[in-house]
Amino acid sequence: MANFLRVGDLDTEALVARGLEMKADPGRWAGSLAGKSVALFFEKPSTRTRISTEVAAAQLGMHPVVIGNESVGLGSRETPADVVRVMGRYVDLAAMRVFSHESLEAMRRHSGIPLVNLLSDLAHPCQAIADLMTIAERRPLEGSRVAYIGDGNNVCISLARGLARTGGRLTLACPPGYEPPKEEVEELGDALEIVHDPAEAADGADALYTDVWTSMGQEEEREQRLEAFAGFQVDAHLFAAASPEAIFLHCLPAHRGEEVTSEIMEHPRSVVFDQAEHRLHSVKAILHTLLA
C-alpha cells in the first residue's frame, strides 16, 4: 500500500505534472473521489495546510474530518498505532501534521489505509511538490538550481529530495551547525551542496528560497537563532546576486524583517502567493494518486 510520508514515496515528476493539470482544469477532477472520506489530524496548528487540504478534499468530492490533538492526545492518551488503526475503520485515508516523524513511522507500520505527511520534524513533502510546481511553471526543473538560505530543516530536506528526483539541485547556505542530518546529506549526494556564505549560494541561482529562522517548537532557541542567522537575510543585495530571471520562494509564514525583507516579499519576481496556491493543487494530486 502506498503512502506519502517523504518525497520519493510517489513519483515526484508525475505529482508535479498532475498538480499543474489540476490547476489548469479543476472542473475535470471535481468530484472524482466522491464517496471517500479523509481524516485530517493536526498535532500542530496550521493555516495553509489545513485550509488547502480541507478544500482539496472537498473539491474532489471527499468528506474531510478535521481532528485536533486535544481530541486525541497523541502519545499520551493514545499511541500513534492505536490512533491510526481506529481511523482506518472509518476513513479511506489519513493525513497528519505531527511534531515527530517517528509518530508517522509508527502509524505506517500499523495502518490499513494510505497516510499522507502534512508536516513532521523531518519532512514536508506536500510543500515540496508545491515548490516544484511553482518552479516548473517558469522554467524546466531539470538543470534548475535553488539557493536555500537558512536552516537545513524539513522544508529544505524535502525540496532537496524533490530537486534530486527531477534533475535539479539545491545549494544550502546555513550557519555551521544548522545543516540537515548527516544521513540526509549522504543520501542526496551531488544534488545537495552546503556552504556557509549566502552570497556564494545565491550567485547565479535560478531561485532563492528561505524560511523562518525559528520554527514552531523552537521558541526557546529564538535568541540563539537570531544571532546565528544574522547575515542570512534575503534582501535586495542578495537577490541581485542570483540569475536576472530568478524567482523568490518562501513557504510562509514569513517574518518580514528577519529572514526576508518586505521589499523582496513584494518583488515582481516573488512567487510566494502562487506557491501558497499550489499547496491546494499539490494535495489534490497526492490524494487522487493514492485513492483513484
Q: What is the mean pLDDT of residues 217-231?
A: 92
pLDDT (0 to 100) of residue 101: 97
pLDDT at residue 283 tops 80: yes
Amino acid 77: pLDDT: 81
* Model confidence pLDDT, tens digit, residues 2-44: 999 999 999 999 999 999 999 999 999 999 999 999 999 999 8
DSSP the chain: ---BSSTTSS-HHHHHHHHHHHHH-HHHHTTTTTT-EEEEEESS--SHHHHHHHHHHHHTT-EEEEEEHHHH-BTTTB-HHHHHHHHTTT-SEEEEE-S-HHHHHHHHHH-SS-EEEEE-SS--HHHHHHHHHHHHTTS-STT-EEEEES---HHHHHHHHHHHTTT-EEEEE--TT-SPPHHHHHHHGGGEEEES-HHHHHTT-SEEEE--SS-TT-GGGHHHHHHHTTT--B-HHHHHTS-TT-EEEE-S---BTTTB-HHHHTSTTB-HHHHHHHHHHHHHHHHHHHH-
Q: Name the pLDDT band for 242 (thresholds 50, 70, 90).
A: very high
Question: Under 8 Å CB-to-CB from 77, ≥6 apart: which residues?
Answer: none
- The domains located in the chain, with CATH, are 12-124+279-291 (3.40.50.1370), 139-270 (3.40.50.1370)
Average pLDDT over residues 157-172: 99
pTM: 0.97
Active site residues: 97, 124, 127, 211, 251, 279
- Residue 69 pLDDT greater than 90, yes or no: no
Bridging pattern class, strands 63-68 and 37-42: parallel
What's the average model confidence in pLDDT over 221-227?
94
**90-124 confidence digits (pLDDT tens):** 999 999 999 999 999 999 999 999 999 999 999 99
pLDDT for position 196: 98
